[in-house]
Chains A and B, each alone.
Chain A
Amino acid sequence: GAVVSQHPSWVICKSGTSVKIECRSLDFQATTMFWYRQFPKQSLMLMATSNEGSKATYEQGVEKDKFLINHASLTLSTLTVTSAHPEDSSFYICSARAGTSMETQYFGPGTRLLVL
């Protein structure tokens, strides 16, 4: 089946630093990738939708200058949390869509970010 990987799976950083999270579709090309965030005991919240070669579309309330998304190729999207603060500590999960239907959206295992 379609596999989506994320790297790193766990990251701890100091407040004020930037952290980059990679999302890769390993065995398929994804024109569209999505970034979600999940706080403890909360639902996955869509942060942004990225299409290869174009600017990401951010959901309301998500700061685009803080969460930089780059979808440089059909198999790679990156999320950079700039000047991270403790309140950015969360579980970040990406998904990649292999086709046009919603069922072909495959999720990565997630990245746990802890900002000290």
Chain B
Amino acid sequence: DQQVKQNSPSLSVQEGRISILNCDYTNSMFDYFLWYKKYPAEGPTFLISISSIKDKNEDGRFTVFLNKSAKHLSLHIVPSQPGDSAVYFCAATYLGGGADGLTFGKGTHLIIQP
């Protein structure tokens, strides 16, 4: 049972445009969400996070939006740059339950075209 879903295996965006990566979750207990970026042969690296008490968090070119009622979050990257080409994982956890580990989506491969 996939509790975190990233339904787009890949996304191609032109350099300079906005990249929007989507993530849905089914477990209503999740209260903290993170996005990770992964290059080939490297481990995922933390990008940005959001708590369920917020609906938006911004860090430079990266903004994460959370819609709790729809159990949906999205990562916006603007403007997109060639170095953004990577696999992006959405992850969730339940801090209120003392959880330590993360539940990941399958990832979306973002390709930034020049």
Other A-B pairs beyond A43-B106, A97-B100, A109-B41, 18, CB < 8 Å: A4-B43, A34-B100, A41-B106, A42-B106, A43-B4, A43-B103, A43-B107, A44-B44, A44-B104, A59-B101, A93-B43, A102-B102, A103-B49, A105-B102, A106-B43, A107-B36, A108-B43, A109-B42
Taking the nearest CB of chain A, how far is it from the CB of B52, in angstroms? Answer: 13
Interface residues of A in 65-116 (CB under 8 A from B): 93, 95, 97, 102-103, 105-110
B101 with A34: CB separation less than 8 A: yes
Query: B-contacting residues of A (Cβ < 8 Å)?
Result: 4, 9, 32, 34, 36, 41-46, 49, 59, 93, 95, 97, 102-103, 105-110
How many pairs of residues, A versus B, come closer than 8 Å at their CB atoms?
56
Which chain B residues (76-114) contact chain A, with CB distance < 8 Å? Answer: 89, 93, 95, 100-107
